[in-house]
Chains A and B, each alone.
Chain A
Amino acid sequence: MTIPFYVAPEQLVRDKAEFARKGIARGRSILALEYADGVVLIAENPSSALHKISEVYDRIAFAGVGKYNEFETLRKAGIRQADLMGYLYSRDDVTAMSLATQFAQTMGVIFTRDPKPFEVELLLAEISSDGAEHRLFRVTYDGTLFEERNFVAIGGKSEQLEEALEDLWSADMDLDSALEAGKQAFQQAEGRDSEGWEIAVLDSTNGRRAFRRISTETSPAAGKEPAQPESESPE
């Protein structure tokens, strides 16, 4: 029988954190910024099939950087949780705040318990029904939860992106200028042209399901899905 070497907890946590940070730094970044009608999420993503941004609930969007299988697992768990809460109680009882704490708890447990931490960073965006109030949350690999204002970036270049946005972002931008600001921030942070965009919005003018993907080849208005019918609920 072998006796495992003793490793000091400080050492263990430091090693895991360094491992996770390295993994995350390899991936491309994502940012979310507020604009007049909601929140726009922009990811650099050469693939048009593998999404990094997705809808979680009526007014909540999710984005993840790092290992695809890991944030995909978290994304699906989040959707299951949101749909369960909304079905068992009411659609109004599903909030980004509650989901964000649950993502944080999940990642915190995995970070301390599992030999290999998740190499992912998550972003949750939520708009209120009138679009006037937005919430942006960031969850890091060790389960730390941050609430951000106006804009937030995750991934390897997140600090550079947020620095660039300090100058580029302003309140009450329309969608086109918000998109322009976001793309320019990427340009400044990466110092090169994008290899492809994945863009989605939470738009309060979109009906019950505020999430909408924006086709990058055409104008923002193109490819618009029909709005979800209002009289959705049988009640």
Chain B
Amino acid sequence: MIPANGPLPLDAPSPGSSFTDLLDSMGALPRWNIPPGENAPSAPEGTTVLALRYQGGVVMAGDRRATEGHLVAHRRIRKVFPADRYSAVAIAGTAGLAIDMVRLFQVELEHYEKIEGVRLSLEGKASFLARLVRNQLPMAIQGLVVVPMFAGYSEADQTGRLFSFDVVGGRYEEIDFGSTGSGSRLAKSYLRTVYRDDLSADEAADLAVRALVSASQEDTATGGPDLRRGIYPNVLRIDEDGLVELPDDVVGPLAEGAVETIR
């Protein structure tokens, strides 16, 4: 099933532009076959990620902690990824499965773009991600849950849009903000009190970092900024000019400001 060094197969699985279907046709996608009642192994879990819309775009952010039970598994894990030039995906839940899902999603979007000559619509990308989540359902029932968030700039609507998902692959568009992971309720409670429709990009990034800091105060699985080690949240901003990751020298002061004012 791994490509050999021979003539290229000229036939593609229908519809022909999906990389995931290509993998599936080769038997290279994982096929879950866990007997019922077996206990899933314990694996590191990613915690709080969030996204919020502002005037002309969307900001997505995530803390850096992964936990395994009550222990800190990773201090500087990345949970917010660029999906392509105009969209990003964030993950919560079993980190190993989620990161693999992101990798497949990234290749899928680029593959489609190269084969078809155009990018998928933002909604098309969200639908595809929902399908990937649904494929994980057997694992979710075993307790290895992956719940992503998806945000991007819609070239058709000329606005930022964001989608949250549930464990069975349900897809829900949010009009203002969304969050998933263990600290998501705390983050959403914070955002609910401060969110405005006319936020600027800088204000949105500031609120995103503050919401994460706020969540980290009560949820032990959410990592606050580690000022001594210089570990700050990952913050991505997407607008009509594409996707930018805010560098540490921008996020650092935001995180310090949030830590200083929090009660």
B227 contacts partner chain A, Cβ-Cβ < 8 Å:
no
Q: Complex formed: what's the CA distance from A77 to B11 in Å?
A: 8
Chain A positions 57 through 92: 1 when the CB is less than 8 Å from some CB of chain B, otherwise 0: 000000000000000011011111101111110000
Chain B contacts with A in 220-263, Cβ cutoff 8 A: 241-245
Please tell me if the beta carbons of B85 and A229 are within 8 angstroms of each other in the complex. yes
The residue among B7, B28, B81, B242 with the most chain A CB atoms within 10 A of its own CB is B7
How many residue pairs link A and B with beta carbons under 8 A? The number is 101
B211 contacts partner chain A, Cβ-Cβ < 8 Å:
no
Please tell me if the beta carbons of B103 and A88 are within 8 angstroms of each other in the complex. no
Chain B contacts with A in 1-36, Cβ cutoff 8 A: 2-3, 5-10, 12, 16, 19, 22-23, 26, 28
Q: Which B residues are CB-close (under 8 A) to A74?
A: 8, 10
Taking a contact as CB atoms closer than 8 A, the residue among A105, A106, A229 that contacts B10 in the complex is A106
Q: Which B residues are CB-close (under 8 A) to A86?
A: 107
Q: Complex formed: what's the CA distance from A229 to B84 in Å?
A: 8
Please tell me if the beta carbons of A51 and B12 are within 8 angstroms of each other in the complex. no
Q: Which A residues are CB-close (under 8 A) to B82?
A: 228-229, 231-232
Taking a contact as CB atoms closer than 8 A, the residue among B23, B85, B115, B245 that contacts A231 in the complex is B245
Please tell me if the beta carbons of B102 and A105 are within 8 angstroms of each other in the complex. no
Q: Which A residues are CB-close (under 8 A) to B7?
A: 102, 105-106, 108-110
A226 contacts partner chain B, Cβ-Cβ < 8 Å:
yes
A141 contacts partner chain B, Cβ-Cβ < 8 Å:
no
Please tell me if the beta carbons of B12 and A102 are within 8 angstroms of each other in the complex. no
Please tell me if the beta carbons of A83 and B107 are within 8 angstroms of each other in the complex. yes
B117 contacts partner chain A, Cβ-Cβ < 8 Å:
yes
Please tell me if the beta carbons of B28 and A234 are within 8 angstroms of each other in the complex. no
Please tell me if the beta carbons of B8 and A79 are within 8 angstroms of each other in the complex. no
Q: Which B residues are CB-close (under 8 A) to A73?
A: 10
Chain B residues within 8 Å of A, Cβ to Cβ: 2-3, 5-10, 12, 16, 19, 22-23, 26, 28, 78, 81-82, 84-86, 99-100, 102-104, 106-107, 110-111, 114-115, 117, 241-245
